Structure 1
Amino acid sequence: MKQGRALSEVLTELQRQNAAKQDFIGPAQAFTLRPDGSTFEIVHTNSGQQEVFGTTDLFHRQIGSTLGIPAKYYDQMRKLKPELLAENVNAWFADREQSYMIRSMDYGNGRVARALLSDRYRRIDNMEIASAVLPLFAGQPDMQVMSCEVTENRMYLKIVNKRLELDVVPGDTVQGGVIISNSEVGLGAVSVQPLLYRLVCTNGLVVNDLGERRTHVGRAAKAVEDSFTLYSDEALIAEDKAFMLKIRDITMAAIEETRFGMIVDRLRESTQVKITGRVQDVIELTGKTYGLNQPEQDGILNYLIQGGDLSQYGLSNAITRASQDVESYDRATALEGIGWQVATMPIQQWKEINSK
């Protein structure tokens, strides 16, 4: 399992972000991308109130997606002709009747627009999630936060219950846990999924088809009168409280003993499914199926050979071991989920990958 920062460091960063973030909402006609292609502003049509932001790559990707500008063309304009990009973006915004939410963050050297989202986007922030679930495990010596991180796009909490422990095969022990993740910038729902921690090599496996997801969709948000700044009303506060209680219930259900046993049984089945084709071809076809790039495939091949377990389970473990070498914590966690998908791949799909 890839290690992030210490829990205390992550909580400190979440507190810093809570103080630095600010959300705005307004009509598309009030949005302008400046000719430099990297500065964004909103101007209130009545008061003339203005907010100016720097921009992130994700914010630009969301602008392109919202306005239907193909990503390749958008990137080319942004790199070579930013004034043409601004002209395109502003023309399309001017034709829109919708309102949008802008999520921003003060990074110390100025305010940056980090996400362009629907006005129906439900703000469920990382600190809220952490504050709801971490007390469930506080003071329990068998519960341990094995890894956590807050990246530019997501927060992750990976918690293991050391009392949940079984062998997949003799000597290969796994413990059960849970991963809680969230994106404040529109890149995914609040997600609570079972997690396995393999003691022999500290691999993490995200069970991504047995979890729960809650989307960031709600009622259309409103701004303070004659302003772009969003407000929270009593109804939204009550909804958020009920939502957090539900997240706590889902979190505890994810580490329930019966579910853990069922997950381990599925892994045991994968130990009996052998690789019969040429190993390099199996990894290449797996890479094409699950979007693994060449360096990732090379690492998986290396760990598969080192492990000596030429089975579906062995391939899954090679993927989760290779995830620890990936620089991006986001990508490493995605690979932990791919490891589970490979271990539980439908037999027909396995036959196709294993056919050469």
Structure 2
Amino acid sequence: MSALLTGVRNATLEDMVTMLRDQQAAKLDVVAPATALRSRNAAIELSDVEPTFDENGVTVVDGLYVPTAAADATIADKLGISLKYLRRLREQRPDLYDANVNGWLHGRTRVRHGQREVLYPADDRSFLLRTFRSQNSEQGVLRALLSDRFGIIDNLDVLTAVLDGIRQADAEVEVRACDLSDSSMHCKVYSPSIATLAPHFLRNYRNPFANPELEAERRRVSGDLDQWRRLAQDEGMGYEAGEEPVMFAGFRFSNSEIGGGSVTLKPELFVKICRNGLTLPLLALRKIHVGAKMDNGTVTWSQDTQNKHLAVLTAQTRDAVRQWLTPEFLTAQVAQLEQQAGAPVTEPEKTLKVVAKRLGFTESERDGVLSHFIAGGQLSAAGVANAITSYSQTIADPDRADTLDDLALSALALVQ
């Protein structure tokens, strides 16, 4: 399974489709009772589960599955174990990892006077295990331990449905970047034909990535794909610093296959000069992953069931695109930004310290935003928002990067 690529930042649409197809072929979803699960050397062992029969042939489901970091989070959540503690056990005491997980799964009994006495009852639930199947007798990968009512909506299906919705809306768009991690997928779309001037929001703004150190940070998080090829394709896209303060209409869509979030669509204002994306989270559309209780065994979905789920998402995308990718929507949103953009920032370190505390930034995030604020050259509220959305491009974790972009509007409102 080591050859299966599970994470990347700033991939092209073509690269993302290839990765998702590879993952789709390796997926194996199983519903099993707690009694069928046991932790062994910090890996989850499945037993007494029927083999699966599909286009890949016969796959033996029983075996060991090594949890990802994201899977550990789901195990901690389902069993009520502190995630920080569980991660420490994985690193330092796998024997205690096993004892904790098995203790909560199987309870504890003792024999007293010839009678078996239940001290702590076993877990009576069944769980959905999302895995990548083992290959060549190697261990598989446990992606998540979830409720047996989790509604499966896969990344490739979401991508296909959203692109179909865009096609139905007859919108001229470009998919500018895609991110993938063990826990989520994020894709960013904009319309090069829907643009407006934002002279106040971008006044005196310099592209912070003209600074070689900051540009190196952005390149560093781009993953193992051919970043140099994409950068070469991007040559000539930006404007000269200080010229043509243009923002474009766009939106983002995201999904989590392992319970880390919902299918989400949200509008975005895109600054092409530096590839900053200012999201509008209050206008987001979300679909929570909740489904009907599933029977034990390997999970398979009929094409009819999948089509019904995806048809709703396609229709939502079509309607959202027709609303968000319009001159009227873009102009109205930029007008609101312009009203707040000019508030002066005379003490950057003090201002960002307050903003960071209010919005829950880490110390390293605060320092990173400050570096981008200085490089951007905007001593205003708009400069703080732009610094957050440029700094987010240097964050390796796409989920956290997306959250930071969501917080840029909140920061803008704080600096008034």
TM-score bracket, shorter-length normalisation = 0.7 to 0.9
Match of 2:343 in 1: 273
Q: Is 2:31 aligned against 1:25?
A: yes
* 1:150 CA drift (Å): 2.2
Q: Is 2:293 aligned against 1:263?
A: no
Cα deviation code 1:30-83 (max 9, x no counterpart): 21111x11x212223899973431221121221112111122332333233222
Length-normalised TM-score, structure 2: 0.74
Structure 1 pair 279–248 and aligned structure 2 pair: CA distance change class (3 A): closer
Corresponding letter in the other structure for 1:320: T
Corresponding letter in the other structure for 2:15: E
Q: Is 2:218 aligned against 1:212?
A: no
Match of 1:164 in 2: 194
Q: Hey, what's the Cα distance between the residues in 1 that align with 2:86 and 2:372?
A: 39
Corresponding letter in the other structure for 1:249: R
Match of 1:103 in 2: 130
Cα pair 1:55 1:114 within 8 Å, conserved? yes
Match of 2:409 in 1: 340
Q: Is 2:183 aligned against 1:114?
A: no
Q: Which moved more, 1:297-306 or 1:157-166?
A: 297-306
Structure 1 pair 51–200 and aligned structure 2 pair: CA distance change class (3 A): same
* 1:107 CA drift (Å): 7.2
Query: Which protein has the larger Cα radius of gyration, Structure 1 or Structure 2?
Result: 2
Gaps (5+ residues) in structure 1? Answer: 352-356
Length-normalised TM-score, structure 1: 0.86
Taking the TM superposition and a 5 Å limit, the aligned residue runs for 1:164-313 are 164-169=194-199, 171-223=244-296, 228-233=297-302, 236-237=305-306, 239-252=308-321, 253-275=323-345, 278-313=347-382
Corresponding letter in the other structure for 2:181: T
Cα pair 1:132 1:244 within 8 Å, conserved? yes
Structure with larger RCO (C-alpha < 8 A, sep 6+): 2
Match of 1:41 in 2: 45
Corresponding letter in the other structure for 1:211: A
Percent identity between the aligned chains?
Answer: 27
Instruction: Report how many residues are paired.
Output: 339
Match of 1:13 in 2: 19
Cα pair 2:49 2:62 within 8 Å, conserved? no
Q: Is 2:187 aligned against 1:153?
A: no
* 1:105 CA drift (Å): 1.2
Matched position secondary structure for 1:4: strand
Root mean square deviation of aligned Cα: 2.7
Matched position secondary structure for 1:146: strand
* 1:266 CA drift (Å): 1.9
Matched position secondary structure for 2:298: coil
Q: Hey, what's the Cα distance between the residues in 1 that align with 2:185 and 2:319?
A: 17
Structure 1 pair 185–254 and aligned structure 2 pair: CA distance change class (3 A): farther
Cα deviation code 1:159-192 (max 9, x no counterpart): 1112221122264210001111111111110000
Gaps (5+ residues) in structure 2? Answer: 1-7, 52-59, 107-121, 201-243
Q: Hey, what's the Cα distance between the residues in 2 that align with 1:74 and 1:131?
A: 36
